[in-house]
Amino acid sequence: MGSRRRNQKLIVAVIYVCGMLMNSLDSTMVTVAFATLGREFYRSPEWIAARDECLAAKGRICSACGSTDQINVDHIKPRSKFPELALEQTNLRPLCWPCNRAKAARY
């Protein structure tokens, strides 16, 4: 197992234990914990709801170039560095696929 995967599992365990200690473990905390695990996040009902809400509120128009083709929902601050913002609407914006790929290349 790679060190990154080991670190991700450790993060999930720490978040879980902290939630249990605070007696306030809720579905958002669990989702954020699993947000660090990769592709599984994008299949979660919480992400699908957040994505739909973003597209409904901001439209299916790229916020960078104005295109209406191949629209994705982008995390402004990357999930890898800010997992606590994974489902925050203020951290989500619609981007077309080319603009999203260009942004990803910078990180």
pLDDT at 33 > cutoff 80: no
Instruction: Give the pLDDT confidence of 5-15 residue by residue, as tens digits.
Output: 556 666 666 66
pLDDT at 95 > cutoff 90: yes
CA-based nearest residue to 85, from 58, 48, 50: 50
Flag whether the pTM goes above 0.85: no
Contact 93, 63 (CB under 8 A): yes
Rounded CA-CA distance 65/72 in Å is 13
pLDDT at 41 > cutoff 80: yes
